[in-house]
Structure 1
Amino acid sequence: MDVNEVVEALALRTGRGYGENPVAIGGGSVGFAFRFDVDNEPVFVKIGQAEQLVMFEAEAEGLKALSEASALKVPDVLDCGAAGKWSYLAMDWLELGPKSSRAEQSLGRGLALQHRVLGEHFGWHRHNTVGVTHQPNNPTEDWLAFLRDRRIGFQVKLAASNNLPAEDLKKISALLGSLEPYFYDYQPAPSLLHGDLWAGNWGTT
């Protein structure tokens, strides 16, 4: 792919000298990933189609929220924008080392501190994505309703639209309608979560 449009947009918007030979470092369902050299310092840049800008904007805002509230190291967002037919998200480049039991323990402690950052409701002020899948975050004060409607129920609707067998849909719908007894004495407080934490979304520095 030709990333010159992104290089030019980043240079114009940030006033920094972006190298003209970015190095591709992989990609996934979301788009492409590159290492750019900016004033002789590495920068991590995710690039997707232009229509993915809203997704990158939500990710950028989420990273900033985590950075402000977390004891964990979170990449600083350098820029997020559109360039021609592309959209992009530029972040600090973090040199990652090998994972270890000690690192996992440190991650757990950091997440525990992060989860102490409380909010007024379950959800967020904007929707975001898991991968490229839309994730609704309409706020509510009812945790079980949020879990049922915004998370499991929404995924069930997506599965149904992708030919989930009718018998499976019937069973899941019945379960969703009878969740209350499983959580009758569980009253969690709204707290700040990563939202898409898996092995590929954390590392050691």
Structure 2
Amino acid sequence: MTHPHTPGERLARALEAASGIAFAGARLNPVRGGCINRTLEVAAGGRTYFLKLNDAAALPMFEAEVDGLTALAACDAFRVPRPLACGATDDEAFLLLEHLQLRPLASAEDGRRFAAALVALHRDTGEHFGWTRDNYIGATPQHNAPHDGWARFLVECRLMPQLRMARAKGYAGALGRDADKLLERIPALFLDYRARASLLHGDLWNGNAAIAADGTPVLFDPAVYRGDRDADLAMSELFGGFPASFYTTYRSTWPPAEGYELRKTLYNLYHILNHLNLFGRGYLGQAERMVRTLAVELNR
């Protein structure tokens, strides 16, 4: 059983200066879940807040999260936790968020509501692929330089940086040989498929999605950019997936174009490579299989 504790004096002062909320005597309760940040519920002044902490060097990651949450909130398709303060002491970065009572997507109605909200998010389109700033996918820097072409953005800002990291960590071998062929062939996949530059959550697995107490769909922990909407849909199928009603509703409202299954593997390769780079060799076999499958399909 965990016991609440109080924030250090330096952190309490920094939080109060950034938010205007009095944190003297606040109580912190650790929250399970995140593998990158320390997460806590904060009771202060009769209200509860959600607090993320990390080393001071992680401040840019929190600043990028604020930017992503702001973009999602502006679209007004989902409820998102409102950022209240972001900053750092000499040794600790912090992000203070609105605390929401959340539950996982479970019912058929949850799936339908979430799908309708995601369609609305994806209908928010722009002129270029990428984003106004770089951000993070988990703890990995994510490059978002604006591009006119989706295939080039996918190669230069998504797959190539992850493959470079994988090779630097010693995961070359078959991954490297087949990956080089794959990168050369990716533009051919998009000769007859015109992706729109939709607003994406960017890290849409079921752990970053929830339902609020009033039934409203909620998104958090974004890695936003503008890209092919299928990239969000593809990642939703990784790591457990969403209720069947979510996919039925989304696809009946806005069906993916022909070739989605191949694009799904391509887009999810980015996330599996990222997990390989973040968490190690346990993801190498899956990455190799995906690269081989794509290389074979694209060389037919």
Q: TM-score, normalised by structure 1?
A: 0.94
Residue of 168, 190, 196 corresponding to 1:189: 196
Q: Which runs of 5+ in 2 are unaligned?
A: 213-300
| Aligned partner (choices 184, 201, 204) of residue 208 of structure 2 | 201
Residue 135 of structure 1: how far off its partner (Å): 0.8
SS in 2 for 1:6: helix
Higher-helix-fraction structure:
2
Q: Which residue of 2 aligns with 1:79?
A: 85
Give the deviation of 1:98 after TM superposition: 4.4
**Identity of matched residues, %:** 33
**Residue 89 of structure 1 aligns to a residue in which SS?**
strand
Structure 1 residue 177 displacement after superposition: 0.3
Q: Which residue of 2 aligns with 1:159?
A: 166
1:88 paired with 2:108, answer: no
Q: What letter matches 1:6 in structure 2?
A: L
Name 1:13's counterpart in structure 2: 18
**1:39 shift after superposition:** 2.0
Amino acid at match of 1:13: A
- 1:69 and 1:98 mapped to 2: Cα distance? 22
Match of 2:141 among 134, 146, 149: 134
1:29–1:132 Cα contact (<8 Å) kept: no
Output the CA distance in 2 between the equivalents of 1:98 and 1:201: 9
Aligned residues: 205
Superposed CA offset, 1:177-201 (max 9, x none): 0112222111112111001111110
| Alpha-carbon contact 2:6-2:27 (below 8 Å) kept | no
Structure 1 residues 141 and 60: CA distance shift in structure 2, 3 A: same
Deviations 1:86-115 (A, max 9, x none): 001111101013422221221111011011
Which of 173, 192, 198 is the equivalent residue of 2:180? 173
Q: Secondary structure at the match of 2:113?
A: helix
Does residue 46 (structure 1) correspond to residue 52 (structure 2)? The answer is yes
